[in-house]
Amino acid sequence: MLDKKPVLLSGIQPSGHLCIGNYLGALKNWKALQNSYDSIFLVVDMHAITVKQNPAELRQRCLAYVAQYIACGIDPEKSLIVIQSHVPQHAELMWVLNSITYMGELGRMTQFKDKSKKYEANINAGLFTYPVLMASDILIYQADLVPVGADQKQHLELARDLAGRFNTQYSDTFVLPEPYIPKTGARIMSLQEPDKKMSKSDINLNNLIAILDSPNTIRKKIKRAVTDSGSEIKIEESRPGISNLITLYSLLTEKSIDKVENQFEGKMYSDFKAELGEVIVDFLKPIQEKYNDIIQDKKYLEDVLKNGADEAYYRARKTLTKVYRKVGFISKK
Ligand code: TYM
């Protein structure tokens, strides 16, 4: 029955602290869409090592991310949760796709440019070819839909271009994946520097709300969040700080922006921030409780990952066999 639904695929890099930006830009939609799609959710550990990681921490973080996916509403009975490195075909397909990807295309990727500035001492080839691995994650499962935040749009366009290029060069093989980018929540901004996106791997933890932050940490971070000069609680392009906080309030309470602005008309920033802090605390409480249960149950997590890897391996092998045949590799007898 699973196979009849269109395929949905997405993933998150296990780097830093999974944050409310990742939830609103990605996980929230994964949860909502998983009922109508045959869904695969990846923890992309191979992408993560393009930036230096502590191996022991990476291992722990991968499991913690799986537990957080489930705590945020991904149901392993409905969807596959897969560790990228458990399915070798991602890297194998990447090699084939590398051969139809132009250096110029990769050089234009804004994330590569940003990361090259941020990690100046470690501009490695993996950082450069990272979008090809991402294309491979998507195409190996013949994904129809890819729900992501706005920052991944350019990478998705490349995945579509590569699928189209391969199909033209070798005959129809890959589904062209469609992006799914939410209208609001696709770009949650940093709390201290609201002209930058909130990033889970930011070294300044005051810039982000982590899914697992304690209530007091959340209250403190929101209290300290940068608001702009002025006093009105209203969304305006010239006031990214307060606009971001209003967006957060609106998304987490599912109230329209108008309604939130009306609710806080005439109130002070401090009143609004205190309420927003409580909204976030209440929103994350059940997620954190569920996480605390799941993370202790290693056997359950292993079972989820084994099931995910076995099923994903089977599907990925099917695509890779086809691809190898099309490019002219002799099949192994
Ligand atoms: P990553 O790990 O940086 O982010 C994971 C997801 O969260 C979204 N996101 C945000 N959404 C709203 N506001 C923010 N501030 C914010 N920050 C991050 C991202 O858009 C993303 O959807 N390359 C990808 C991971 C990846 C992938 C894939 C995604 C690897 N293979 C295949 C989709 C399909 C990345 O680094 O996302």
Taking only the tens place, the pLDDT of each residue in 167-200 is 999 999 999 999 999 998 999 999 999 999 999 9
197 is catalytic: yes
199-237 residues labelled b (16+ CB within 10 A) or e (exposed): bbebeebbbbbbbbbeeeebbebbeebbbeeeeebebee
* pLDDT value at 126 more than 70: yes
- Residue closest by Cα to atom 1 of ligand 1: 12
pLDDT at 213 over 80: yes
pLDDT-wise least confident of 11-15, 111-115, 191-195, 252-256? 111-115
Q: From the candidates 28, 31, 115, 273, give the one annotated as an active-site residue.
A: 115
pLDDT in tens, 272-328: 999 999 999 999 999 999 999 999 999 999 999 999 999 999 999 999 999 999 999
Instruction: List, in order, residues 6 or more apart from 193 with CB less than 8 Å away.
Output: 207, 226
Instruction: Find the largest Cα–Cα distance for the chain.
Output: 76
Closest CA to 281 of 194, 221, 193: 221
200 catalytic per annotation = yes
Distance CA 88, CA 141 (A): 13
Task: Over range 217-232, report the average pLDDT.
Answer: 93
On the question of pLDDT at 264 being above 70, the answer is yes
- Give yes or no: 299 in active site: no
* Residue 11 CB less than 6 A away from ligand 1: yes
Minimal-distance CA residue to ligand 1 atom 11: 25
How far does CA 321 lie from the centroid of its chain? 28
- Give yes or no for a contact between 300 and 74, defined as CB atoms under 8 angstroms apart: no
Count the alpha carbons within 13 Å of 61 in the hemisphere toward its beta carbon. 20
Helix, strand, coil % (nearest 5) of the chain?
A: 60, 10, 35
Report pLDDT for 3.
Answer: 53
Positions of E strands within 282-321: none
Q: Residue 50: CB within 6 Å of ligand 1?
A: no
Of 32, 44, 146, 135, the closest CA to residue 78 belongs to 32
What's the confidence (pLDDT) of residue 120?
87
What count of other Cβ atoms lies within 10 Å of the Cβ of residue 10? 23
Residue 210 is predicted with a pLDDT of 98
Residue 331 corresponds to which tokens in the numbers above?
């099949």
Half-sphere exposure of 58 toward its Cβ, with a 13 Å CA cutoff?
Answer: 16
pLDDT of residue 230: 83
Distances (CA, A) of 184 to 101, 154, 241: 32, 18, 16
* Structure confidence by residue, pLDDT tens digits, 6-33: 999 999 999 999 999 999 999 999 999 9
* pLDDT over 50 (residue 1): no
**How close is the Cα of 50 to the center of ligand 1, in Å?**
15
Tell whether ligand 1 has an atom less than 6 A from the beta carbon of residue 44: yes
Q: What is the per-residue pLDDT for 70?
A: 98
The per-residue pLDDT for range 34-77, each reduced to its tens digit, is 999 999 999 999 999 999 999 999 999 999 999 999 999 999 99
Provide mean pLDDT across the span 236-260: 96
Q: Check: CB of residue 10 under 8 Å from CB of residue 148.
A: yes
Ligand 1: does its nearest atom lie under 6 Å from the Cβ of 209?
no
Share above pLDDT 70 across residues of the chain, in percent, rounded to a whole number: 99
* Residue type for position 65: Y
Task: Specify the 3-state DSSP secondary structure of 92.
Answer: helix
Query: Ligand 1 pocket, 220 CB below 6 A?
Result: no
- Rg of the chain over Cα atoms, rounded to whole angstroms, equals 21
Rounded mean pLDDT, 86-93: 98
